[in-house]
Structure 1
Amino acid sequence: MRSIFTRSGFILFILIIAVFSNPTFSQKKRKKKKEAEKKEQQDSGLKISEFEPTKINKVVKLPGLKFPNINVRPYYRNDQQLALIARLERNKQWDEYREQLYIYVTSFGINNFMVKEDMDLLWRLANVSEYLGDRVLAKETYRLILRHYRGDFSRALKHYESLTLFEKPLYANLEDYYRLVDKRALIDTLTPPEDVLVDMGDQVNSQFSDYGMTLGGENQNRLLFTSNRSGRDTSAFNQQFNPKNANEDIYISEKTEFDMWGEAVAFEAINSNYNEGSPYLSKDGKTLYFIRCMAPGGLGDCDIYYSNRVGDSTWSEPVNLGPNINSYAWDSHPSLSMTEDTLFFASDRKGGFGNSDIYMSIKSEKGAWGKAKNVGPFINSRGSELSPYPHVKFPVLYFSSSLGVVNFGGFDIYKSFIVDGRFSEPKNVGPLVNGGGDEYYFAIDADAKQLYYAKSKVKGDPNLDLQSFPLPMEAKPNNTVRFSGRVTEQSTGEVFKGVVTVIDLSDRVEVAPKSIREDGSFDFELINDKKYLLVIEGDNFFQIEEIFFVEGDKHVQIPAISVNSSLSFASIDFDPGSAKLKPEMENNLHLVVDFLVKHTNYRLIVTGHTDADGNSEANVKLSKERAESIKEFIVNYGELESNRVIADGKGDNDPIIVQPSNEEEKRLNRRVEFKIFLDEYRISVPVSDDDVDWGED
């Protein structure tokens, strides 16, 4: 049996949860939307597309292009149409030119995607759509080129990246994120970081490779998987049929009353002297689909079989699903749709888009599986697609692909929503699942809380173990609400660089951190009707924290406070004649503490000011005492070296309003200012040299 193993593991993700009672920014409605966003919401404008996306959430984007001939004819050509297209191009009749191109390319069969001249027609459709301002169709067509073109697609990539500059997911560098997490854990009221990848233990795993798992049964209380552990003596059999690998069997583990997985046992009713694997158990636990390889009566390398449970423990003789499903080649990874009337599987038979494709077969009213059909060019590519896994409760197809517009390594896991029998644009489930290696052979539970997976303990080690992993937000089948925002300095419009983290406070679900884009924007896809914590942090602005509740798509304009200017906080207002800190000052002082703890190369100058009432010398003394009180709080609370904070007082010598006429104007003069600066930046401060250690010149 040609098995496909997972050779790399998960990126271990440390999740931290905090509840902050005082938000540091207020949400504001955007008065104007960017021109790109307005264009994105428009239809392609082609009547022939017959696609109305308004009925589903905009996160779920069905392709406007349809290819009805994919499983009807292998190749399409019409010289009369091509001559018309050429004439329209010469005459620069661009609207009609685009429409005729659209009609022609949507008549493609699978083989058209392998012919350079035909793929050039896709390029022309994308190019003219971009020229006419139809960003939706242009981006969709460029994506198809990137997935299927076998030559130099650099031009298409350049155009696509230009169109999606402020749209594509900009995941943060996880190493940088972990560094921020570690520092934040020292100063915030956080729970300890936890390792979320859990080995399923000796009851399930063995010293041999264990992989290719599925969950089944009415309560998903059975874990079925493929294992090399049998140890049976198959030397004679190996020499005749499959000398490389002839000891793969199906094993089954059942969940105990303590919510633990029991000892795995061989599925003796199904296992034979041939290779068995890739099991899939129906919801009622009564039908098992699996692979048997190089067996007598088989149609190809590996075929898909099924067996029905008879009584409590007896299983019928396995039956080959026949030529409507199986081919002369390798057919594997069977799984059923949410309604169990569609069978998905992977195959490397000829006539597909790439090395291996995903196919589907629909069950007739009489219960017979129809002729397998290729699921089309939006799922399959010139590379390989494997491990189709429809979720059991949500209309979402998960699968593995070696070639995606967003890709983190070898094979990555993607998901596509199924709407009216059509597949949405596939989305990479993100870096918390997909790493630099290969990700396939996986299962997701009905509640979409756990991902079951196979990984090796050491990179490159073929010995795989089964693991369980809390399903990150990007991989959820129901995260269809768009949460977006833009971070800017409120008065100047300055755009900041930093990392945005969203944490699901309801279920403690991971959400992959993202970097702020060049225009200050960010976006996430979340689950509706849930509470989240938003944390935004960077090197040149104070950390932002906000708790919010998602009710439908949401956009927030976020004012950030730059550290590159003098700051004063309204809450830091001492009682007359007093230098004692008040409790209401502490929230804003925590902002300063947090920043200094995370950014060890910065220092702080605290300067106190008073109004002109009273004696001038006394005012200078009082302002210095107030600055010293703040310094003491920051140094002690942040456990900082004393020379990280410089305290100074100017009394009434530097007023904002020179001749105040009322109490409010006096209050503006009675302030404390904060100035944060880098170590290497020398500032002239009226304090003694003993108070400041500038380090070596």
Structure 2
Amino acid sequence: MSTIQKLERRKQYDQVLPLLEKYVGNFGIENFYKDTNLLWRLGQLYERQQQQEKAISLYRLVLKHHRSDARRVQSYYDSLEQNTRDYYVPLNYYYELVEYRKKITTFKPPKGVYLNMGNAINSPYEDYGPALSRDKELLIFTSKRKFKGINSKPNEDLFYSNQVNGYWQEAKAFGKPINSIYNEGSACISRDGKTMYFARCEAPDGYGNCDLYSAQLQPDGTWGQIKNLGPQVNSYAWDSQPSLSPTEDTLYFASDRLGGFGLSDIYFTHKRKNGDWAPAKNMGPVINTRESEVSPFFHPLYQVLYFSSRGQLFNFGDFDIYKTYKVNGRWQEPLNIGPLVNGKGSEYYFTIDTDSKNLYYARSEADDIENLDLFSFPLPMEAHPLAVTKVEGTLVDSVTQKPLSGVISIIDLDNGIEISSKYIRPDGSFEFSLIDNSRYMLIIQSSDFFTIERELSLQNDTSLQVMTTLIDYNIPMVFENIEFDPMESDIKPEMEPILDEVAYFLIDHPTYLLEISGHTDSAGNPDFNQELSQDRANAIRRYIEQKVNLDEGRVIAIGYGSSKPLREEKTEEDKRINRRVEFRVEKPDTPKK
């Protein structure tokens, strides 16, 4: 280390980089909170070498593990990430957007953020720790509803419910020997349904205050052969919340044993050839933080691990659920699964069915953090294990090339369900992770332009550049394809897409007003021209009002006849230009003239 410091004083950074890289590469767990300054310094050296991704990953580690003032690092990291992070719209605003579009589209809006699983499952006491059998017909969970345990404290027991014709039946306790006067909970079950892993606390054969156990299904349908997983897995602390990998040779769990990164960490153990479990290992500094990580869940089909954390860098509430992918043997930076699941309270104990259709999890309301209930919800896109195909793009003004602001929404056209809306980033960029080989509708809304819709048939990662032009509210807009037949005021089919766009703009901007003015050329009787132009403006007004059910008075229609020509009429082209319909949008803060 002294050599590194000497080279730094001499500003010989090219020589410092490989030495510091090697030094940090040999970090033990304690170094991640004792020596976060070295992570910061290595990150800066990577930046000097234009290795931005490596630098940012080190800054993330600093923020996850520091135990001192890191406001300078946080501020710098935020400035780097402002054009790559997600800016989700507030949930109440998201549902306002959905309600607006319900009036104008056939897309199905979400039915709710989450659904309480009801009285057959939940009780007035804490209910949590859901696990599903592979056939989705058995739900196992933990509850404190029934008995007093040792020291007269509420006793945690394991319960189960069977699904019959789509309905969960009244939950029942497992009974002895699974449940006892000690605390049992947080179970998971093997693919064949014959082995169950669970936690038992304060038992006389335990190594710590909570240990992991296994149980076997007996020929008569009862459970027995209960076995402590032993000191290679369990510690002298709290070990709980097991989850099996799809191959069932690796068991993930949470523990607050000494020597971890934070208050509790995610650990794993693998099964040896002789059937014994190997010594448990910590999952490392990308997954674990100086705070708490709990309730791991490994997807039953894919290499995706879900867990709950309060120490990752982007939380909506207290504990949020994250997912991480294993790529080339390394776990990637965890991703928050979004506001449709994660709220202002805490979310724990996440599980997904084998079809990736529904999720089940325990959560507390922000105003009642002491009680947990079980909830289910159709799996949102952010939580889906196959949502790994990137759709990214930028939104810029076609004239100035400057980035525009607004809200991006994506609708899954195959299922008719919206995906969480996001604000466009400061540089005009946006990004979503979606499922490949699927159809989507991209909807961009802003106060600066009409709503943009674009359909995507996703095939591999997709990059888009969306060009639009800002609305100048002082200049009336004239659309070329709004031309009436001679002497007629009927709306033609080719006009409807433009008129629909104007109508949708008014729905998305409920405080704006619209003035429609009709104009004719100078040929013919002036009184007739004025009446014809008024009829045409009225026809457009009626179409827009009926299309989106607008309040009366938001659209004004005026016929000017030939009194306001744009050109002196020397040619037929001059006459054609003067025959027009103008649209003027009035912003709410624009004074009337």
State the TM bucket, normalised to the shorter chain. over 0.9
Alignment check: 8 A CA contact 1:196 1:470 kept:
no
**2:554 corresponds to which of 626, 632, 644:** 644
Deviations 1:8-47 (CA, angstroms, capped at 9, x unpaired): xxxxxxxxxxxxxxxxxxxxxxxxxxxxxxxxxxxxxxxx
Secondary structure at 2:68's aligned position in 1?
A: coil
Whether 1:171 aligns to 2:88 is yes
Q: For residue 455 of structure 1, report the CA deviation from its aligned partner.
A: 3.4
Alignment check: 8 A CA contact 2:399 2:469 kept:
no
AA partner of residue 128 (structure 2): Y
Q: For residue 458 of structure 1, report the CA deviation from its aligned partner.
A: 7.8
**Bigger strand fraction:** 2
Distance 1:680 1:415, change over 3 A: closer
* Structure 2 Cα separation of the partners of residues 525 and 464 of structure 1: 30
Match in the other structure for 1:421 = 329
Match in the other structure for 2:194 = 286
Match in the other structure for 2:580 = 671
Match in the other structure for 1:222 = 138
* Structure 2 Cα separation of the partners of residues 387 and 497 of structure 1: 38
Distance 1:488 1:312, change over 3 A: farther
Whether 1:347 aligns to 2:255 is yes
Q: Normalising by structure 2, what TM-score?
A: 0.93
Match in the other structure for 1:588 = 498
**2:11 corresponds to which of 60, 85, 92:** 92
Q: For residue 585 of structure 1, report the CA deviation from its aligned partner.
A: 1.4
Whether 1:491 aligns to 2:407 is no
**2:171 corresponds to which of 248, 252, 264:** 264
* Structure 2 Cα separation of the partners of residues 345 and 132 of structure 1: 39
* Structure 1 Cα separation of the partners of residues 529 and 469 of structure 2: 29
Deviations 1:276-323 (CA, angstroms, capped at 9, x unpaired): 111111111111111111111210100001112232513333111111
Q: For residue 425 of structure 1, report the CA deviation from its aligned partner.
A: 0.9
AA partner of residue 586 (structure 1): E
Match in the other structure for 1:137 = 54
Match in the other structure for 1:408 = 316
**2:210 corresponds to which of 299, 302, 317:** 302
Alignment check: 8 A CA contact 2:109 2:418 kept:
no
Deviations 1:76-106 (CA, angstroms, capped at 9, x unpaired): xxxxxx1221222122222232222111111
Deviations 1:178-197 (CA, angstroms, capped at 9, x unpaired): 22222332344455762353
Match in the other structure for 1:185 = 102
Moved more, 92-101 or 276-285: 92-101
Secondary structure at 1:525's aligned position in 2?
A: strand
* Structure 1 Cα separation of the partners of residues 417 and 505 of structure 2: 26
Match in the other structure for 1:147 = 64
Identical residues among aligned pairs (%): 46
Alignment check: 8 A CA contact 1:496 1:541 kept:
no
Distance 1:322 1:639, change over 3 A: closer
Q: For residue 539 of structure 1, report the CA deviation from its aligned partner.
A: 2.4
Mind listing any 5+ residue stretches in structure 2 that lack a counterpart? none
Q: For residue 646 of structure 1, report the CA deviation from its aligned partner.
A: 2.7
Distance 1:462 1:671, change over 3 A: same
* Structure 1 Cα separation of the partners of residues 129 and 72 of structure 2: 39
AA partner of residue 543 (structure 1): T
* Structure 2 Cα separation of the partners of residues 437 and 151 of structure 1: 26
Match in the other structure for 1:55 = none
Moved more, 308-317 or 467-476: 308-317
* Structure 2 Cα separation of the partners of residues 444 and 167 of structure 1: 28
Alignment check: 8 A CA contact 2:107 2:417 kept:
no
Q: For residue 169 of structure 1, report the CA deviation from its aligned partner.
A: 0.6
* Structure 1 Cα separation of the partners of residues 183 and 50 of structure 2: 55
Distance 1:250 1:361, change over 3 A: same
* Structure 2 Cα separation of the partners of residues 524 and 595 of structure 1: 24
* Structure 2 Cα separation of the partners of residues 300 and 317 of structure 1: 21
* Structure 2 Cα separation of the partners of residues 594 and 387 of structure 1: 44
Distance 1:491 1:261, change over 3 A: same
Alignment check: 8 A CA contact 1:142 1:156 kept:
yes
* Structure 1 Cα separation of the partners of residues 425 and 64 of structure 2: 25
Mind listing any 5+ residue stretches in structure 1 that lack a counterpart? 1-81, 685-697
* Structure 2 Cα separation of the partners of residues 95 and 607 of structure 1: 69
Match in the other structure for 1:202 = 119
* Structure 1 Cα separation of the partners of residues 118 and 355 of structure 2: 22
Secondary structure at 2:30's aligned position in 1?
A: helix
Alignment check: 8 A CA contact 1:253 1:261 kept:
yes
AA partner of residue 142 (structure 2): T
* Structure 2 Cα separation of the partners of residues 457 and 138 of structure 1: 37
Whether 1:327 aligns to 2:235 is yes
AA partner of residue 65 (structure 2): H
Alignment check: 8 A CA contact 1:281 1:289 kept:
yes
Distance 1:533 1:407, change over 3 A: same
Q: For residue 509 of structure 1, report the CA deviation from its aligned partner.
A: 4.5
Whether 1:383 aligns to 2:302 is no
Alignment check: 8 A CA contact 2:113 2:341 kept:
no
Q: How does 1:7-86 map to 2 (within 5 A)?
A: 82-86=1-5
* Structure 1 Cα separation of the partners of residues 193 and 89 of structure 2: 42
Moved more, 654-663 or 633-642: 654-663
AA partner of residue 10 (structure 2): N
Q: For residue 388 of structure 1, report the CA deviation from its aligned partner.
A: 0.9
Q: For residue 632 of structure 1, report the CA deviation from its aligned partner.
A: 3.1
Alignment check: 8 A CA contact 1:609 1:652 kept:
yes
Whether 1:556 aligns to 2:460 is no
Distance 1:252 1:529, change over 3 A: same
Distance 1:229 1:653, change over 3 A: same
Alignment check: 8 A CA contact 1:471 1:509 kept:
no
Secondary structure at 2:391's aligned position in 1?
A: strand
Q: How does 1:495-514 map to 2 (within 5 A)?
A: 495-514=403-422
Alignment check: 8 A CA contact 1:254 1:262 kept:
yes
AA partner of residue 221 (structure 1): E
Q: For residue 607 of structure 1, report the CA deviation from its aligned partner.
A: 2.2
